[in-house]
A and B are shown apart, each in its own frame.
Chain A
Amino acid sequence: MEEQDKFCDYLSGVNPVWCPGCGYYGILGALVEAFVDLKLPSKELALISGIGCASRLPYFVKSYGFHGIHGRALPIAQGVKIANPNLTVVTVGGDGDGLAIGGGHFPHVARNNVDLTYILFNNAIYGMTKGQFSPTTTLFSSTKTSPFGLTGEALNPSALAIVYGASFVARGFSVKKEQLKDLIMQGIRHPGFAFIEILSSCSSFNTTDMNVARLLKAIDTVPADHDPENPVEALRLAGDESKIHLGVLRRSSRPSLEDRFQEIEKKAQRGKSHGIDSLVRQFA
Chain B
Amino acid sequence: MMHDFTLRVAGESGEGVITVGETVARIAAREGLQLVTFRTFPAEIKGGACMMQLRLSDQKISYHGEKVDCLVALNQAALDENFPDLKEQGVLLCEAECDVIEDGLSATVYKVPFERIAVREIGSRISKNIVVLGVLAELLAIPKPRVEEFLAEKFAKKSEAILDHNMQALEKGICFARENFSKREGFGFPPGKPERHLLMTGNEAIALGSAAAGVKCFFGYPITPASEIMEWLAVHLPRMGGKVLQTEDEISAICAVAGASWAGEKAMTATSGPGVSLMSEALGLLSIAEIPAVIVDSQRGGPSTGLPTKTEQSDLMLAIHGSHGDAPRVVIAPTSVSECITMMGAAFYFAEKYQMPVIVLVDQALSARVETVKPGIVEEIPKSSRLRAQAPAEGNFARYKLANSPVSPAAIPGTDGCEHMVTGMEHDEFGNFACDDETHTAMTVKRFRKLEEIEHDPLTQNLCQSIGEGRADIGVVTWGSSAGPVEEAIAEARRLGISVRGLVPKILNPLPHAQMKKFFSEVNRVIVPELNFTGQLASQLRATYRVPTISLTKIKGVPLEPSEIVAKIIEATDGLQQRSARRYGRAR
Which A residues form the contact surface with B (CB < 8 A)? 1, 12-14, 42-44, 46, 48, 51, 58-59, 62-69, 72, 75-84, 86-87, 104-105, 107-108, 112, 261, 264-265, 267-269, 273-276, 278-280, 283-284
Contact = CB atoms under 8 A, between A and B. Distances in A.
A66 B421 contact: yes
A279 B208 contact: yes
Closest A-B pairs by Cβ, 8 of them? A79-B259, A79-B256, A75-B255, A268-B238, A64-B413, A83-B260, A83-B263, A79-B260
A76 B255 contact: yes
Interface stretch (B72-80, B136-144, B210-218, B452-460): B210-218
Interface in B368-425: 373, 375, 378, 396, 412-425
Interface residues of B, number: 64
B413 A87 contact: yes
B238 A265 contact: yes
B121 to A, nearest CB: 34
Nearest to A265: B238
B198 A279 contact: no
Given A43-B414, A284-B198, A79 B421 contact: no
A271 to B, nearest CB: 11
B252 A108 contact: yes
Nearest to B216: A83
B200 interface: yes
Interface in B210-265: 211-212, 216-217, 219, 235-236, 238-241, 243, 245, 247-249, 251-253, 255-265
A75 B256 contact: yes
A174 B537 CA distance: 55
Contacts of B373: 283
Contact of A274 (B240, B252, B257, B264): B240
A82 B217 contact: yes
Contact of A273 (B200, B239, B258): B239
Nearest to B381: A276
20 contacts: A1-B416, A12-B419, A59-B421, A67-B423, A68-B423, A69-B285, A79-B217, A79-B260, A80-B259, A82-B243, A82-B245, A84-B263, A104-B248, A112-B245, A261-B238, A274-B236, A274-B240, A279-B236, A280-B198, A283-B199
Contacts of B424: 51, 67-69
B240 A48 contact: no
Given A1-B416, A79-B219, 19 more contacts: A42-B419, A59-B421, A65-B423, A65-B431, A66-B262, A67-B422, A67-B424, A68-B255, A69-B284, A72-B252, A75-B253, A78-B252, A78-B256, A81-B259, A82-B217, A83-B265, A86-B414, A104-B249, A274-B240
B271 to A, nearest CB: 15
A46 B411 CA distance: 13
A76 B235 CA distance: 24
A87 B263 contact: yes
A77 B257 CA distance: 10
A12 B416 CA distance: 15
Interface string B482-521: 0000000000000000000000000000000000000000
B297 interface: no
B118 to A, nearest CB: 30
Contacts of B252: 72, 75, 78, 104-105, 108
B423 A43 contact: no
A42 B420 CA distance: 10
Nearest to A58: B421
Given A283-B373, A284-B198, A84 B413 contact: yes
Nearest to B246: A108
B196 interface: yes
A68 B199 contact: no
B331 interface: no
A84 B415 CA distance: 12
A201 B414 CA distance: 34
B8 to A, nearest CB: 23
Contacts of A273: 239-241
A278 B239 CA distance: 10
B281 interface: yes
Contacts of A1: 416-417
Contacts of B255: 68-69, 72, 75-76, 79
A46 B263 contact: yes
Nearest to A277: B378
B433 interface: yes
Given A77-B259, A78-B256, A108-B252, A83 B416 contact: no
A46 B432 CA distance: 16
Contacts of B204: 283
B327 interface: no
B282 interface: yes
A101 to B, nearest CB: 10
B116 to A, nearest CB: 36
A76 B282 CA distance: 10
Contacts of B418: 43
Nearest to B212: A276
A246 to B, nearest CB: 30
Interface in B274-303: 281-282, 284-285, 289
Contacts of B200: 283
Contacts of A276: 208, 211-212, 240, 378
A276 B257 CA distance: 22
B414 A84 contact: yes
Given A64-B413, A273-B241, A284-B196, A79 B267 contact: yes
A72 B417 contact: no
Contacts of A284: 30, 196, 198, 375
A217 B253 CA distance: 43
A265 B236 CA distance: 10
B306 to A, nearest CB: 24
A240 B420 CA distance: 41
Nearest to B431: A65
Looking at A42, A72, A105, the one whose CB has the most chain B CB atoms below 10 A away is A72
Contacts of A68: 255, 258, 285, 423-424
